[in-house]
Structure 1
Amino acid sequence: MNTDSSEHYPIFLGSEIDQADPQQAMFHVLPVPYEKTVSYGGGTRLGPSAILNASWQLEKWDGKCNPCDLGIHTCAAVDCSVAPEQVIENIANATAEIVRNGGIPVVLGGEHTVTYGVLKGLKDAGMEDFGIVQIDAHADLRQAYEGDILSHASVMKRAVDMGIPLYQLGIRAFCEEEMQIREQFGVYYQDADALVPNNITSITLPDDFPENVFFTVDIDGMDPSVFPSTGTPVPGGLGWYQTLQLFESVAKQRRIIGFDVMEFAPIEGFHAYDFAASLLTYKLMGITARSLES
């Protein structure tokens, strides 16, 4: 699907703060309303605008600090009206520019394919040694899905093909091919059937996991009781506080170089989920900000 020109992209937390200069902002919010390969429910292209609009209802104080004090710059939405390969390049170029400005990309999707463009942009900007921590219901490790290697169901396969170490959290829907790819590429994981019943809220990254980490959050990694607003919900997912605590446990061990919030598909008339997705984004900024100061 193409970007709808009628969609509105306000600046993040614009009711409370002014747009920060890109050379001075720590957090660069990048909306990417890309949706092409969703395989069940749709609507992810509307996620970025819904999150940005809901952010005007947030408080500056996240409960522990004011993440916005480090500066938030909201970028122009990525042009998603072109061919998929060009969309990936557009995402990569926008991400690389953020990194070269000294910022931390905070990317709002869109389907999970968007993350491939972000990872490419990090590498294009000279960040070679980093790992990925993924919260998701799905492994996304298929070589291709429905014949498409740029499918949302293949994005983590593109990542490991790039040589990026991967640690998966909360997975509870995957196929035999993905189990084999996990073994082949040495993917680390703690699946939902271990995390959720035991209420595990922290992980210890392996000693050889890179110092720099990009954290990708698929909204469907959280339980549908928290976020039914996603295209491919799976029961048995992570809770709100568990998700935040897992993110924080990683931030205490490694340097967060960026994160994304993917696959949010707003439900018309249920603005609570828009607000929750926006608050999640800001809470992750807060955890990242505090980790940089510690």
Structure 2
Amino acid sequence: MTHISQFLGEEADLGPEKRIAILSAPLASSVSWLGGTELGPQAIIDASPALEVFDDELLAETVRLGIATRPVPDFTGLAAAEACRRIQAGVAAELAGGMFPVLLGGEHTVTVPAVKACLAKYPDLHVVQIDAHLDLRDQYDDNPDSHACVMRRLDELGVPFTQVGIRSFSKEEYALVQAKGWRPFFMHRIHAEADWIEQVCAEIKGPVYFTCDVDGLDPAIMPATGTPEPDGLSWRQTIGLLRALAAKHRIVGMDCVEFSPRPGAEHAAFTVAKLIYRTLGYVFQSKAP
């Protein structure tokens, strides 16, 4: 297969200036069960030209804001700590240049360096996480930098966060949630409370970094991930949340992680690409041509 170098392919050049940067972080040092997340960024980029750049909901061509796609790095043989240093430096450089960073994972570990970069510019940052899992383990397989520990590491940085779509966690993680007095938006809570999106938005005080572990979505629409948990967020629920977040708060960066291409589930890469494009449309809605 011929890899496509730009998100949205040739149509990415419709924007005269670049305001959005697509970065790839194909790190896969601690994946669970089904692997392949290192192939995720390129698969999302390869699927993206199939999108209509005229958004069917927003009735605008968000691409005209200008989208620059950075080359997919090769992390083969690179220690996870060094890969994370490079990710943090890459996101920091985009922010310094006035770009809106979109990071394509790779495993969820890549969120930590991206948030560190955003935190340096936005000290009152709030992270909104879509995920099937709490990711609050202190370590997993003796690795404190595992994808299963991401939110624990962010908590140690003092970053407030809101967790949405949760439906899988350990006894120890749940004990931590209770001890801290946190109230994640478990799927059973989302089903029971019709105003859950308003509740999410109400607890955010500062600018938002949005991290989407694609296993937060229902595997009926997102089967291509290492740990597909039943009963996740629907497409409508997901974009409803993002629409409200962008309307009420300033989203300053985002990532989509844990996408793992699967034969026979090629539509999933298209779904992730559209989720990213739609989110960018919401973020820049008043500015899109």
Do they fold alike, i.e. is TM over 0.5?
Answer: yes
Gaps of 5+ in 2: none
Deviates more, 1:102-111 or 1:61-70: 61-70
Paired residues for 1:196-275 under 5 Å? 196=191, 202-205=197-200, 209-275=204-270
The verdict on how the C-alpha distance between 1:272 and 1:245 changes in structure 2, with shifts beyond 3 A counting, is same
Deviates more, 1:87-96 or 1:66-75: 66-75
Structure 1 residue 210: deviation in Å?
2.8
The verdict on how the C-alpha distance between 1:68 and 1:27 changes in structure 2, with shifts beyond 3 A counting, is same
Structure with higher helix content:
2
Q: 1:120 aligns with which of 116, 123, 130?
A: 116
1:84 correspondence with 2:77: no
Q: 1:168 aligns with which of 134, 147, 163?
A: 163
Provide the rounded CA distance (Å) in 1 between the counterparts of 2:175 and 2:104.
30
Q: Is the 8 A contact 2:187 2:232 kept in 1?
A: yes
Structure 1 residue 11: deviation in Å?
0.7
Provide the rounded CA distance (Å) in 2 between the counterparts of 1:200 and 1:46.
37
The verdict on how the C-alpha distance between 1:61 and 1:20 changes in structure 2, with shifts beyond 3 A counting, is closer
1:44 correspondence with 2:37: yes
Provide the rounded CA distance (Å) in 1 between the counterparts of 2:242 and 2:286.
11
Gaps of 5+ in 1: 1-5
Q: Percent of aligned positions with the same letter in both sequences?
A: 36
Structure 1 residue 269: deviation in Å?
3.9
1:285 correspondence with 2:283: no
Deviations 1:192-236 (CA, angstroms, capped at 9, x unpaired): 112146666623347663320001111100111111110001101
1:109 correspondence with 2:102: no
TM-score, normalised with respect to structure 1: 0.90
Paired residues for 1:21-170 under 5 Å? 24-63=17-56, 64=58, 65-81=60-76, 82-124=78-120, 126-170=121-165
Post-superposition, which runs of at least 4 consecutive aligned residues in structure 1 deviate over 6 A? none
Q: Is the 8 A contact 2:106 2:258 kept in 1?
A: yes
Q: 1:15 aligns with which of 10, 13, 18?
A: 10
Provide the rounded CA distance (Å) in 1 between the counterparts of 2:18 and 2:279.
16
One-letter identity of the residue aligned with 2:80: P
The verdict on how the C-alpha distance between 1:177 and 1:102 changes in structure 2, with shifts beyond 3 A counting, is same
One-letter identity of the residue aligned with 1:106: V
Structure 1 residue 286: deviation in Å?
1.0
Provide the rounded CA distance (Å) in 1 between the counterparts of 2:166 and 2:104.
21
The verdict on how the C-alpha distance between 1:200 and 1:43 changes in structure 2, with shifts beyond 3 A counting, is farther
Structure 1 residue 20: deviation in Å?
6.0
One-letter identity of the residue aligned with 2:65: L
Secondary structure in 1 aligned to 2:10?
Answer: coil
The number of residues matched between the two structures is 285
Provide the rounded CA distance (Å) in 1 between the counterparts of 2:46 and 2:103.
15
Provide the rounded CA distance (Å) in 2 between the counterparts of 1:97 and 1:89.
12
- 2:271 aligned partner: 276
TM-score, normalised with respect to structure 2: 0.91
- 1:3 aligned partner: none
The verdict on how the C-alpha distance between 1:93 and 1:184 changes in structure 2, with shifts beyond 3 A counting, is farther
Structure 1 residue 76: deviation in Å?
2.1
